[in-house]
Amino acid sequence: MKQEAAATAWSIYESAAGFGLVAASNKGLLAHHLPYGLKTRADALEAAGMSHPLAKEGSDLTRAAAALLERYFRGEQVGFDLPLDLTGFTPFQQEVYRMVAAIPYGTVQSYGEVAGACGTPRGARAIGGAMARNRLPIIIPCHRVVGASGVMTGFTAPGGIDSKRELLMMEGVNVVVGGGVIR
């Protein structure tokens, strides 16, 4: 992956899970820091300063994204029809992100299904690699991508698989004891 663009603005939002942070460049949303690792507003401010040192607080885009994320974390079904800055990602990764962004709320797809939709039916592992590099979780809902049998794997965000499970349950996905989903 090439270097991402520099953020020009960021906004903080609050949820029951903690404080989230969303950043944007002049082209679109660039990064989303999930609230699971940021327990206080001070944590979020520190993350903003460390991750996006050249950015200023608030733009129309980051405020709109933060408002949508607050609603999402309250359990509302929202659409993230906002411009994204996918600078630094390969064309394949960008295609994967477009496919994953289209997975409807409350549903899941397997890595293999996403690979097939991207024209690489044997590329499930490559889909997993792209998901691990996703800078915009929730907005590009990588938590909706699961193993072929419904098993939850590889969620690199704070809280790992527990966070993925929590997000899917919030969306109404049937999660079984032991962590898989009913497909």
The residue whose two tokens read 């993925």 is: 164
| Integer Cα distance of 141 and 126 in angstroms | 17
Q: Please, which residues have CB within 8 angstroms of residue 74's CB and are 6 or more apart in sequence?
A: 15
Q: Identify the active-site residue in 22, 142, 157, 173.
A: 142
Give buried/exposed letters for 135-166 (b at 16+ CB in 10 A, else e): bbbbbbbbbbbbbeebebebbebbbeeebbbe
d(CA 68, CA 51): 22
Is 118 part of the annotated catalytic residue set? no
CA 74 to the chain's CA centroid: 16
The answer to whether the CB of 152 falls within 8 A of the CB of 161 is yes
The count of C-alpha atoms lying within 13 angstroms of the C-alpha of 51, restricted to the half-sphere facing its C-beta, is 22
Residues labelled catalytic: 142
